[in-house]
C-alpha cells in the first residue's frame, strides 16, 4: 500500500513498492496530464520487462500531491544481459514522452535511491515508488 503524503506533499522517506494499478489509482488519475504520464509509465514498464530491466523506481513531482507534474523521473536498473530484447532496449534508450529515464547499473542505481531520489529540492527527506515487476 502506498502511504499518505507528508506535510510537504511528498511520500514519507523510503522505497514504497506498488503495482502498476496501485500507481495508476494513486498518481495517474488527478488530471489529464497525469493520465497521459501514466500511459507512458505503462509503456515504459512493458518495454523494460522485455529488455530485461531488473528494477524500476519512480520519483519526481509525479509521486507528489502536485496536480500537474512536470514529468516522471525514473531510474531503471539493468544487469549484464541488458538488453534481452534489442528492440525494446533501443526504444528505452530513445526515450519515452513525459518520462525522464536513467538506465543504469547497480552503483549508479544505489546512488539514485540513496541520494538523488531520497531528498527534495530543499534536502527534505522524501520517498519514491518501486514498480513491482
For Cα atoms 68, 69, 73, give the angle at the middle one, nearest 5 degrees: 165
Phi first, then psi, for residue 12 (nearest 5°) are: -65, 155
CATH (residue range 14-131) = 3.30.460
Which pLDDT belongs to residue 120?
87
Q: Is the peptide bond prior to 83 cis by the omega test (within 30 degrees of 0)?
A: yes
pTM of the model: 0.97
Residue pLDDT, tens place only, 42-89: 999 999 999 999 999 999 999 999 999 999 999 999 999 999 999 999
17's CB contacts (< 8 A; 6+ apart) are 129, 130, 132
Residue pLDDT, tens place only, 3-51: 999 998 999 999 999 999 999 999 999 999 999 999 999 999 999 999 9
Amino acid at each position: 500500500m502506498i502511504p499518505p503524503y507528508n506535510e510537504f506533499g511528498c511520500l514519507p522517506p523510503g522505497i514504497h513498492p506498488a503495482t502498476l494499478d496501485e500507481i495508476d489509482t494513486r498518481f495517474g488519475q488527478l488530471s489529464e496530464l497525469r493520465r497521459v504520464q501514466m500511459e507512458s509509465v505503462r509503456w515504459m514498464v512493458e518495454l523494460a520487462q522485455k529488455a530485461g530491466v531488473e528494477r524500476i523506481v519512480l520519483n519526481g513531482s509525479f509521486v507528489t500531491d502536485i496536480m500537474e507534474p512536470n514529468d516522471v523521473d525514473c531510474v531503471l536498473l539493468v544487469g549484464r544481459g541488458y538488453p534481452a530484447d534489442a528492440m525494446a532496449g533501443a526504444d528505452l534508450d530513445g526515450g519515452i514522452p513525459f518520462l525522464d529515464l536513467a538506465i543504469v547499473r547497480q552503483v549508479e542505481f544505489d546512488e539514485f535511491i540513496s541520494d538523488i531520489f531520497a531528498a527534495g529540492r530543499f534536502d527534505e527527506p522524501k520517498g519514491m515508488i518501486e514498480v513491482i515487476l
